[in-house]
Every structure is written in C-alpha cells, then in structure tokens.
C-alpha cells in the first residue's frame, strides 16, 4: 500500500489510473490520424491543382501549334483561288477547258485537301473538276440556290475570297468548306465586268487530320464553331456545344471573310494512372501519421517505465479531455446528420430534375420522330391529290421521275418517291441511304429493258446523267408496298422490308418502310401504286443526331420487340438473299441499356410514362411513348438518359459540405484544445510536480492550490482494439493496391510478349496471322487491294555458321529496323514469319507501289554493307516475293500467302537479291 501526499492508494486504484491515461493516449492517436488525413488531402489537392495548371500550359502550347498548322494549310489551299482567277483574267475571260483541267488536275495532285474545283460563267457553273461524283454541280444556277447565292453575293461585295461553309461535300459526304473568289474584267475607261466565280471545295476533315486534330491519342477534346461572317458566335460544326460552356482552352482560326473558334478541354486521365500517384501520396501521408502514432506510443511506454505514477494528479475530471470529447459528441452527430439530409435531399432533387429532363427530352424526340414519319404522309398525299386532279401524268415517265426528284430535293430525309405501274414497271427518284455519295438518283425498271433495274445520276436540273448501276429483274407488283396498297385500298403504312435494288455499290443494301397508296385516274382506271419510303439506316442516323448532345440513347421498336431504329451503332438487321431479313429484337441488343429498357417497357401497361431502372449499379431514367402509324403498327419511342449526369454534381456538393463540416469540427477542436489548456494549466503544474516527486525530487515545491482537480482517464480496451484494426486495415489496403498494380503490369507485359517477337521487336507469327485475316476481310469489305511482301535473308545459314549466332541475331535486328522504317503507314504491319523470314502487310497498295517499296527495301539492306564472305554478293542481301490481290467472296488470305511464297521461291531460284511479283 502506497501513501502520496497523505492519501492512501492500493493496486486497484493504480490500475484505474493507468486505464484512464491510456484512454488519453488513444485520443491523441485519433487526433494524429485525423490531422494526418486532412494534411494528406490538402497535399493531394495541391498537387492535383499544380498538375492541372502544368497540363493546361502544355495543352495550350500544343493547341496553338496545331491551330497555326491548320490555319496555314487552309489559307494555302484557299490561295489557289487567286491563281485560277488570275489565269482567267489573263485570258480576258476566255476559259480554255483543256487548260483548266490540266491546272485543276495538278492542284488536286499537289494539294490533297482539295476536293473539287468549280468555275462559273456568270452565275451558271460550266466547269467542274473532277466531274465524276460532281455531276449535280455542273449546270447549277446560283440564282436559284439561295443557300449558295448568299456566299457568292458576299464574295462579289467584298471583291475578295470568302469562305462558305461548313457543309457536306458532294464527293464523299465529309465535312468541307468552299472558298469563292469573284472574277472581274477591268478595262481602262470602262466599268468592271463580272465574269464569274472560282470555287474550291476543301475537305476539312483531311486538313484537321493533317494538323493532328483527329489523332485518337489527342490529350484534349475539341469543338469548332463559326460560319462565314458570323465568326466565333456562329454555327457549331464539329464536336459538342458543351465544350464551349466548359472550355479550358480556346483559339481563333482566321480565314478570308470570317473566323472559326476552337474550344478544347483536357481528356480526363485514365483511372489507373491517376490513382497510382494519389495512392502514393496517401501511403506516404499514412506512413507519416503512423510514425507519429508509433512515436507517441513509444514515449508513453518510456514514461511508464520512468515512474509508475507519472500521470497521477489530484481531481476527478480532466477538463482538456472533457472539452474535446464534448465537442466531438456534439458536433459529429450534427455533421453526420446534416450531411445525410443534404445528400438525401440532393438525390431527391436530382431524381426529380432528371425525371423532368428525360420527359422533356423524350417529348422533343417524340415530336421530331412524329414529324419525321409525317414526311412520307405529306409527300404521298400531295402526289395522290396531283393524280386525282389530273396533274400527274404517269404516261410521261421522264417528267414523272423529274417531279419525284424535285420533291426529293425538298425532303432530305426521304429515300424513295416512286411509282409502280399496273404492268410491273417502276419509276423513282431516290437518295442512296448508304455510302458517302448521297447525290440524287433516277431509277426505272421498264418492260422494254427486260424489267432490269437501272440507276442513273442526275444533274442540278434533274436531268438524267450517267448510268451508275444495272441490277437484276425488278417487278413492282411483287413488292410488299404494292401488296399493302392493293390490300388496304388507300393510304397506309407498309411493314419493314428489304430493298431489292441490288446496285453494284450496295448503296441500297438496307431495310425500309413507308406509305403507299393506289392511284386511279378520273375515269377510275388503276394507274399504279405511289410510295414515299424511308430507310431504317437514315432513321437510326436521325436518332443518333437527336441524342448526340445529351449523351442519351434513343430507340424505336415494334410491338413484337423488333428494333426499328437505334442511336446505338449496331446492326439491327441481317439481310438475306430471299429478301426475308432477320430483325434484331431490342431484348437481344448488344447494348445492355436497350435490353433493360425494352424489357421494362414490355412489362408496363401504360402507353407512355417514365421510370428509373438500374444496371450494374448505375441508374438510368427512361421515357417511352406509343405512336400509332396510319394503317400501320404501333411503335414504342424510348429515350434513356444516365442518372449519373444529374446525381454526380449533387454528390460533389455533398462531399464539399462534409469537407467543410469536418474543417469546422477541427477548428472547434483546436479552439477547445487552447481553452482547455489554459483552464487546466494549474493541473498541469500539479502533474509536473507529481512527476518530480516520482523521480525522487523531494525538494520540489508544491503548486498553489486550485479549486479544479484533474483525474486522468484511461481508454477502454475496445478503443485500443478499434484503433489497431484501423491501422491493420490501412496496411492491408496498401498491400492490395501494390499487388494489384504489379499484377496489371505483369498482365500487360504478358500481352506484349504474346504478340511480339522477342529478338526483333516486330510482330510475331501469331499476331501476323490475326492481322492478315482482319486486313483481308477489311479489304474485301472496302473493295481495296492488299499487298503482301515475303522476305528471306540470302544464305543466312552460311552467315550463322561463319560469324556465329550473335552476329546472326544482330543481322536480323538490323534487317527488322530497315523493314520497319520502310513500312511506316498506319495500316502496314511488319512481322517475323520464322527464322530469317519476314512478312510485310501493305493495306490498299497496288502492285506498282508494292514493287517500289520492295526494291527500295532490298537496296537499303544491301547498302548496310554487312560483310558476308560466303555470299556471291559479298554482303548480306535479301530476296523478296510480292503478291497483290483484291479480295473477293470465296477466296481466302491463304491464296495471298501462297502467291507471296511462290514469288519468293522464284526470286531465290532466279539468283537471289531480287524482287519477284506473283499474280494473285
């Protein structure tokens, strides 16, 4: 039994004192971890901010460089207008067609961005190069084209080159612009005479690609807006409008008569790369905090060894601990409750807002789709009324088709306006739904031609031009739209069917639907069936355009669940030779969102509505509406928007609120710590005096008496256990993160090793087999040639036997470097075929180009001057076999490989160190 300051203490009392002291230590541990976490978060955010500024500076330099390149290329091409204008002025307005063709051909060869060159005499186009694909431009009268005439008038008023656009180029449907320069003839003492306009069409996508804007590795997203004199506030023609609302970078491109503005925002870094350094900071911060905790515990143990009663003081409560605990107990529930309520309210508001927005977007899409389907009805009704009034003469077949084409020009979404005659003949005006060439077509199937389907181009005046394709026999009386019209007896929608045009370009290899009606003359005689038709591919493109701005998905399905159209790019049908296509059901879509949405709609009994569904932890808002076509099916029009786009900002607000509340909590705790220290100062002095006594300093002077007594409280064993578990959890998470990163790196390396030759760094045989198969299919699909080079090192075994395998490996590496340097295009592939054999895949390359490349490669290897005493040439040489083929149905890539191998054999048989070509 012990006596201190006249008080009696037994072992039980000493144990209670030590428990209370331990509680104080663990409270210090909690505070260290809390402050360490806050400091780590501050450091992390500071580094994020610094990296963001550095990234923006780097991106700004890159963007400005690319903009200068883009502006330079565009202005260089547009400067060609002055060359042509000066040439015509020098000839006093006389246009030598042959000379102009030579100049235009030279310009197209030297300037890859130029799509076409057009000259007008006055306001009528009388020269266009190239003519193929631009027939619709020849003969165009600008006075009758207000959309074109506006730019022409601006150029005349400015007496200088003016940029018109953006627009879709007639040649390939790609984004383009047109530079227009007026030509005047000046004579002394006479007023200027307007000769015409020089117009050069520029492929903007080609210019963007050359400047690097279409590189998929670009570290930023961008959008471009600007239209003629409207400048930076004009029409958006590339990218998303949202980039201009959140643009981090911007730059102007100055062009003749206007300017464009580019807005850019950095691409968010990949999650793995971002988390790597963030976890590094967190591990360092956690390690530092744990080091302080370890130091605190170590100091506590040392103090306990120095004296058994180092923290013994008189009193019942510790004011410092009492104030700190009281603040935590009061503020922490308030923070948690307010954060939870804020989060719940934010979610409710976000859900209501998202439901309202999806309803609004769904309504807009529904209205646009209704308007879309109303086009065939209006066009068909107009033609039926024309026939009933006797204004439509089916006997004048040419005038009939020209009338159809005139209507097609006013309705860019229609695919066909046609008429099937009572005798099976067919006449139509059409716009191809597939391919780049969207120029209007004139189609007819006549008895005198054996009912063969003939397709012609037309000029701007709707006159028949060159023959595009001649298909198989076509009898209008066998088509579904003809049957539907005869069955219904009036205007009505016919079901989805497969086109039977069978053109050579497969521009009509799709499905369509529309309205048809039987036509009768004023005597009641049956004339035929009139149709207005829409291609499903155009309907899908229309949906994609409607949803591109909000990131949603829209689709239309029939009552049986079959997809009619979808903004998601997937094949929704499969064509068959018997014209009975296989339709894709929405429930079988590749997109899980469409699958879930279609199932949800089919489970509903309401004709329209909104609902919330969840896929893999992500929530989506769905709006669906029924729409019944005239004498046709009832369609379900659905729009799906991701709920994350609305709840994300709300979560950010919640996180900011929690961070602010925690900051307030920490500040209050610091204030409480200062106040409690001031209040407990006498008790601290008393504790200091007690420690001196415990150290044997019996001469220590006792502090002055105070009415407040401090009793040190010890933490419970449960608190110690929870802190220990927390520390173990942090260490375990750190180890898992490190092991996951190591596993990802190993998997990545393994994937590289599986497709790469270890010696040369080229693609290996396995990777070559995969690529040659895919390139064969692509070339067959795009009707392009595919070239294959098979390379063999001459007398390589002798070289190995003479100089050793190390020298042989060095030789193969140098040869691999030469091959890689020669085949540098994006679609080319160099692979090690086996031993000293190599193969090179050359996409879209003809025989002449392949021979040039092979001969250049052979000379390059010979120029390496690798001494080979056992070769008749004295140096290392190669033999090359070339095979060039245009893949067709029924042929395989093995034929190409065999041809290249045979060509290589011929090269070696003929003396080696040469190139041989084998027809395929």
**pLDDT tens sequence across 738-758:** 887 777 776 777 766 677 888
Instruction: Indicate whether 288 belongs to any domain.
Output: no
Q: What is the pTM of this model?
A: 0.47
401-448 pLDDT tens trace? 999 999 998 888 899 999 999 999 999 999 999 888 888 999 999 999
pLDDT of residue 136: 78
Degrees to nearest 5, angle at CA 16 with 15 and 18: 65
Total H helices, total E strands in the chain: 20, 31
Q: Check residue 505 and give its pLDDT.
A: 86
User: Is residue 240 in a domain?
Assistant: yes
> What is the structure's pLDDT at 15?
45
pLDDT attached to residue 251: 83
Is residue 362 within a helix (H) or strand (E), and if so which, with residue range?
helix 319-388
CATH of the domain at 189: 3.30.450.350
Query: What is the reported pLDDT for 389?
Result: 74
DSSP 240: -
CATH number of the domain residue 890 falls in: 3.30.70.270
826-873 pLDDT per residue, tens: 888 999 988 889 999 999 999 999 999 999 999 999 999 999 888 899
Pairing mode of beta strands 608-615, 618-628 = antiparallel
Q: Is 385 found in the same domain as 245? A: no
What's the confidence (pLDDT) of residue 499? 92
Radius of gyration of the chain (CA): 40
Question: Does the pLDDT of residue 658 top 50, yes or no?
Answer: yes
Of the candidates 501, 818, 689, 512, the residue with the CA atom closest to the CA atom of residue 4: 689
Total domain count for the chain? 3
Greater model confidence, 344 or 627: 627
Rounded CA separation 234/262 (Å):
12
Would the pLDDT of 711 be above 60? no
Q: Which of 482, 506, 534 is the last residue of a domain?
A: 534
Strands 416-421 and 526-535: antiparallel
CATH classification of the domain holding 530: 3.30.450.20
What is the pLDDT, as a whole number, of residue 14?
A: 47
Residue 727 has a pLDDT of 61
Q: Supply the pLDDT for residue 516.
A: 92
The pLDDT value given to residue 700: 55
Instruction: Please say whether the beta carbons of 419 and 516 come within 8 A.
Output: no
Taking residues 182-211, report their average pLDDT. 85
| Same domain flag for 259 and 114 | yes
pLDDT confidence of residue 416: 95
pLDDT per position as a tens digit, 431-440: 999 888 888 9
Given a cut of 60, is residue 218 above it in pLDDT?
Answer: yes
Last residue of a domain, one of 266, 287, 315: 266
Q: Per mean pLDDT, which of 78-82, 94-98, 698-702 is the most reliable? A: 78-82
112 and 232 in a common domain: yes
Q: Which helix (H) or strand (E) holds 839?
A: strand 837-843
The predicted pLDDT at position 680 comes to 64
Which residues constitute the domain of residue 517?
Answer: 375-534
- pLDDT, average across residues 256-272: 72
Residue 644 inside a domain? The answer is no
> Quick check: 597 and 640 in contact, CB under 8 A?
yes
Q: What is the pLDDT of residues 189-203, one digit of tens each?
A: 777 888 899 999 988
Is residue 12 domain-resident? no
Q: 262 with 379, same domain? A: no
Does some domain include residue 281? no
Long-range CB pairs of 480-488, under 8 A, 24+ apart, other chains included: 481/420, 481/514, 481/516, 481/529, 481/531, 481/533, 482/420, 482/516, 482/529, 484/516, 485/516, 485/517, 485/518, 485/529, 485/530, 485/531, 486/518, 486/529, 488/631
What is the per-residue pLDDT for 920? 76
Name the burial class of residue 628, with classes exposed (0-12), middle (13-18) and buried (19+) by CB atoms within 10 angstroms of its CB.
exposed
pLDDT reported for residue 306:
46
Work out the mean pLDDT of the chain and round it to a whole number. 79
**10-24, 320-334, 561-575, 850-864: the lowest-pLDDT one:** 10-24
DSSP of 61-105, one letter per residue?
A: HHHHHHHHHHHHHHHHHHTHHHHHHHHHHHTTT---HHHHHHHHH
- Percentage above 90 pLDDT, the chain: 22
Give pLDDT, residue 702: 56
**Both structure tokens of 90:** 């020098």
pLDDT greater than 50 at residue 96: yes
Beta strands 878-885 and 915-919, pairing class: parallel
pLDDT at 148: 79
Q: Is the pLDDT of residue 328 over 70?
A: no
What tokens does 305 get? 């060894």
- Residue 87 domain flag: yes
Distance CA 512, CA 429 (A): 15
Copy the structure tokens of residue 156.
Answer: 């005349």
Range ranked top by mean pLDDT from 322-326, 719-723, 823-827, 851-855: 851-855
Look at residue 231 in the predicted model and tell me its pLDDT: 37
* Residue 612 confidence (pLDDT) above 50: yes
Which pairs with CB-CB distance under 8 Å and at least 24 residues apart come from 299-305?
300/21, 300/22, 300/25, 304/18
- Please check the confidence at residue 13 and state whether its pLDDT lies above 90: no
Q: What is the pLDDT of residue 690?
A: 56
* Statement: residue 8 has pLDDT above 60: no
First to last CA, the chain: 108
pLDDT at position 672 over 70: no
The band of 232, judged by pLDDT with boundaries at 50, 70 and 90, is very low
- Please determine, for residue 885, whether its predicted confidence score (pLDDT) is greater than 60: yes
The pLDDT of residue 646: 61
Q: Is residue 48 part of a domain?
A: no
What average pLDDT does this structure show over 593-620? 86
- Determine whether 470 is exposed, middle or buried from the number of CB atoms within 10 Å of its CB (0-12, 13-18, 19+): middle
On whether the CB atoms of residues 820 and 753 are closer than 8 A, the answer is no
Q: How confident is the model at residue 472 (pLDDT cuts 50, 70, 90)?
A: confident
168 within some domain: yes
Is 531 a residue whose pLDDT tops 90?
A: yes
- Find which of 143-152, 335-344, 629-638 is predicted with most confidence, using mean pLDDT: 629-638
Nearest CA among 287, 280, 246 for reference residue 263: 246
Polymer length in residues for the chain: 920
**C-alpha closest to that of 204 among 164, 234, 243, 235:** 164
Predicted confidence band of residue 541 (pLDDT cuts 50, 70, 90): confident
What pLDDT does 11 receive? 45
Domain co-membership, 226 together with 81: yes
Q: What positions carry a catalytic annotation?
A: 836
pLDDT at residue number 838: 94
Same domain, 78 and 195: yes
Residue 689 has pLDDT above 50, yes or no: yes
Summarised one tens digit per residue, pLDDT across range 103-143 is 888 888 888 888 899 999 888 899 999 888 788 788 888 87
DSSP-derived secondary structure for 305-327: HH-TTTT--SSS--HHHHHHHHH
Q: What distance in Å separates the CA atoms of residue 863 and residue 891, rounded to the nearest whole number? A: 38
Q: Which two tokens stand for residue 720?
A: 């110690």
> How many whole angstroms separate alpha carbon 688 and alpha carbon 700?
10
Residue 64: pLDDT above 80? Answer: yes
767's tokens:
């990777």
Least confident of 313-322, 358-367, 494-503, 886-895: 313-322
* Mean pLDDT score, 147-169: 80
Can you read off the two tokens belonging to residue 763?
A: 């693609």
- DSSP codes, 368-427: HHHHHHHHHHHHHHHHHHHHHTT---TT-HHHHHHHHHHHHHH-TT--EEEEEETTS-EE
Residue 102 has pLDDT above 80, yes or no: yes
What backbone torsions phi and psi does residue 847 show, to the nearest 5 degrees?
-65, -40
Instruction: Quickly state the pLDDT bin for 714 (edges 50, 70, 90).
Output: very low
Domain stops at, among 237, 266, 295: 266
Q: Assign 496 to helix, strand or coil.
A: strand
* pLDDT for 21: 57
Kindly state the DSSP code that residue 827 receives in the 8-state scheme. T
d(CA 478, CA 529): 12
Mean pLDDT of 770-798: 92
């Amino acid at each position: 039994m012990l006596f201190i300051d006249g008080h009696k203490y037994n072992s039980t009392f000493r144990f209670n004192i030590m428990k209370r002291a331990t509680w104080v230590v663990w409270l210090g541990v909690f505070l260290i971890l809390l402050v360490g976490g806050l400091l780590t978060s501050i450091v992390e955010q500071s580094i994020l901010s610094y990296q963001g500024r550095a990234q923006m500076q780097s991106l700004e330099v890159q963007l400005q460089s690319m903009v200068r390149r883009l502006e330079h290329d565009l202005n260089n091409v547009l400067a060609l207008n002055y060359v042509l204008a000066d040439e015509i002025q020098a000839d006093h307005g006389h246009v030598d067609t042959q000379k102009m063709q030579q100049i235009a051909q030279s310009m197209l060869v030297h300037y890859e961005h130029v799509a076409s060159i057009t000259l007008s005499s006055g306001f009528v186009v009388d020269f266009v190069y190239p003519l193929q694909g631009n027939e619709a431009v020849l003969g165009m009268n600008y006075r009758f084209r207000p959309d074109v005439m506006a730019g022409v008038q601006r150029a005349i008023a400015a007496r200088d080159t003016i940029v018109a656009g953006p627009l879709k180029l007639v040649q390939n449907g790609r984004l383009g612009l047109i530079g227009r320069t007026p030509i005047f003839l000046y004579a002394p003492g006479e007023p200027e005479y307007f000769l015409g306009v020089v117009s050069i069409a520029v492929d903007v996508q080609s210019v963007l690609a050359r400047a690097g804007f279409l590189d998929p590795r670009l570290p930023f997203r961008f959008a471009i807006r600007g239209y003629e004199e409207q400048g930076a506030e004009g029409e958006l023609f590339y990218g998303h409008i949202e980039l201009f609302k959140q643009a981090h970078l911007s730059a102007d491109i100055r062009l003749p008569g206007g300017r464009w503005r580019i807005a850019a925002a950095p691409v968010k870094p990949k999650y793995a790369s971002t988390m790597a350094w963030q976890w590094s900071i967190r591990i360092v911060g956690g390690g530092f905090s744990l080091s302080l905790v370890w130091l605190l515990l170590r100091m506590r143990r040392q103090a306990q060894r120095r004296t058994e009663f180092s923290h013994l003081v008189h009193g019942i409560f510790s004011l410092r601990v009492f104030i700190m605990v009281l603040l935590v107990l009061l503020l922490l529930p308030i923070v948690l409750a307010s954060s939870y309520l804020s989060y719940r309210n934010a979610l409710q508001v976000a859900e209501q807002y998202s439901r309202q927005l999806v309803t609004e977007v769904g309504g807009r899409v529904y209205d646009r789709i209704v308007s879309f389907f109303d086009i065939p009805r209006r066009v068909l009704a107009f033609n039926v009324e024309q026939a009933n009034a006797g204004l439509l003469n089916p006997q004048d077949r040419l005038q009939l088709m020209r009338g159809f084409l005139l209507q097609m020009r006013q309705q860019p979404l229609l695919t066909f306006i046609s008429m099937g005659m009572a005798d099976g003949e067919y006449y139509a005006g059409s716009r191809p739904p597939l391919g780049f060439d969207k120029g209007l077509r004139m189609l007819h199937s006549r008895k005198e031609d054996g009912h063969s389907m003939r397709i012609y181009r037309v000029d701007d005046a709707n006159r028949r031009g060159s023959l595009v394709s001649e298909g198989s026999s076509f009898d209008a009386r066998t088509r579904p739209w003809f049957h539907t019209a005869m069955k219904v007896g009036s205007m009505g929608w016919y079901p989805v069917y497969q086109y039977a045009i069978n053109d050579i370009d497969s521009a009509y290899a799709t499905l369509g639907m529309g309205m048809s009606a039987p036509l009768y003359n004023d005597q009641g005689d049956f004339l035929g069936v009139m149709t207005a038709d829409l291609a499903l591919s155009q309907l899908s493109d229309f949906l994609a355009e409607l949803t591109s701005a909000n990131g949603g998905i829209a689709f239309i399905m029939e009552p049986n669940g079959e997809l009619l159209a979808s903004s998601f790019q997937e094949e929704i049908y499969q064509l068959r030779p018997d014209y009975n296509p296989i339709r894709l059901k929405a429930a079988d879509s590749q997109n899980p969102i469409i699958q879930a949405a279609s199932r949800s709609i089919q489970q509903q009994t309401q004709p329209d509505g909104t609902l919330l569904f969840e896929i893999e932890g992500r929530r989506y808002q769905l709006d669906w509406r029924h729409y019944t076509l005239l004498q046709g099916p009832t369609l379900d029009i659905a729009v799906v928007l991701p709920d994350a786009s609305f709840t994300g900002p709300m979560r950010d607000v919640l996180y900011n609120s929690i961070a602010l509340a925690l900051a307030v909590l920490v500040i209050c705790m610091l204030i409480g710590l200062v106040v409690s220290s001031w209040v407990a100062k006498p008790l601290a002095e008393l504790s200091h005096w007690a420690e001196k006594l415990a150290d044997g300093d019996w001469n220590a002077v006792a502090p002055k008496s105070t009415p407040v007594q401090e009793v040190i409280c010890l933490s419970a064993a449960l608190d110690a256990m929870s802190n220990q578990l927390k520390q173990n959890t942090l260490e375990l998470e750190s180890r898992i993160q490190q092991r996951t990163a190591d596993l990802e790196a190993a998997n990545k390396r393994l994937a590289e090793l599986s497709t790469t030759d270890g010696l040369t760094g080229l693609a290996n045989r396995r990777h070559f087999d995969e690529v040659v198969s895919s390139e064969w299919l692509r070339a067959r699909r795009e009707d392009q040639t595919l070239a294959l080079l098979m390379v063999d090192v001459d007398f390589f075994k002798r070289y190995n036997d003479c100089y050793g395998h190390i020298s042989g490996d060095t030789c193969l590496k140098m040869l691999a470097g030469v091959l890689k340097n020669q085949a540098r295009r994006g679609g080319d592939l160099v692979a090690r075929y086996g031993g000293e054999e190599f193969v090179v895949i050359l996409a879209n390359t003809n025989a002449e180009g392949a021979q040039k490349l092979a001969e250049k490669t052979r000379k390059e290897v010979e120029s390496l001057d690798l001494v080979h005493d056992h070769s008749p040439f004295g140096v290392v040489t190669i033999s090359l076999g070339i095979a060039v083929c245009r893949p067709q149905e029924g042929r395989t890539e093995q034929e190409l490989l065999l041809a290249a191998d045979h060509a290589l054999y011929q090269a070696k048989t003929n003396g080696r160190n040469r190139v041989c070509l084998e027809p395929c």
